[in-house]
């Protein structure tokens, strides 16, 4: 699976955002935005369905791929805060982030309902908390925060060893 899922996490976009932060050169911001939009166009949203195991999907819109992609997007958007994107481009990014956060919320709810704790689930909770700290204006912020905290707490109870290692 790894050859398929790692690119879905968009790790490779972070250096472009970092380079923009270092140089202020618009070409890096534009390249970052182009990759994000092209990825989005090539991978239409797949709504979360708790009745379908992620092993029976292409994993693009499931599990760690969504969590890590959200983290990559958060890092990028933070470093691109001063990028000369248009209002429409920022709205697109804002809506894309909302989509990711709401998807992670649904996945976290399902994991909590089963008391399913493990490192992938812990990452979902952590990313939700980072995202709500960056976007406190989202309308469902209280629910996103609660589910993020509950997910982390479940993992601390059930999947983190005394030495801090993860199950």
Q: pLDDT tens digits for 138-153?
A: 989 999 999 999 999 9
Mean pLDDT score across all residues of the chain: 95
Please, are residues 93 and 85 in contact by the beta-carbon 8 Å criterion? Answer: yes
pLDDT, position 127: 97
10: left (phi over 0), alpha (psi -120 to 50) or beta: left
Terminal CA-CA length for the chain:
20
pLDDT per position as a tens digit, 33-75:
999 999 999 999 999 999 998 889 999 999 899 999 999 999 9
- Assessment of whether the complete model's pTM goes beyond 0.75: yes
pLDDT per position as a tens digit, 3-20:
788 899 999 999 999 999
Quick one: average pLDDT of 108-137? 96
26 vs 24: CA distance, rounded Å: 6
Nearest to 134 by CA among 98, 107, 109, 83: 98
Helix, strand, coil shares of the chain, percent, nearest 5, are 70, 0, 30
């Amino acid at each position: 699976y790894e050859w398929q899922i790692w690119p879905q996490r968009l790790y490779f976009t972070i250096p472009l955002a970092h380079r923009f932060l270092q140089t202020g050169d618009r070409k890096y911001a534009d390249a970052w935005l182009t990759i994000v939009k092209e990825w989005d166009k090539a991978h239409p949203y797949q709504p979360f369905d708790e009745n379908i195991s992620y092993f029976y999907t292409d994993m693009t819109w499931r599990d760690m791929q969504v969590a890590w992609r959200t983290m990559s997007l958060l890092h990028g958007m933070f470093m691109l805060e001063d990028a000369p994107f248009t209002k429409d481009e920022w709205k697109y990014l804002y809506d894309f982030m909302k989509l990711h956060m709401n998807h992670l919320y649904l996945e976290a709810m399902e994991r909590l309902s089963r008391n399913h704790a493990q490192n992938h689930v812990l990452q979902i909770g952590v990313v939700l908390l980072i995202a709500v700290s960056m976007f406190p204006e989202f309308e469902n912020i209280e629910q996103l925060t609660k589910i993020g905290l509950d997910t982390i707490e479940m993992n601390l109870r059930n999947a983190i060893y005394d030495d801090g290692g993860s199950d």
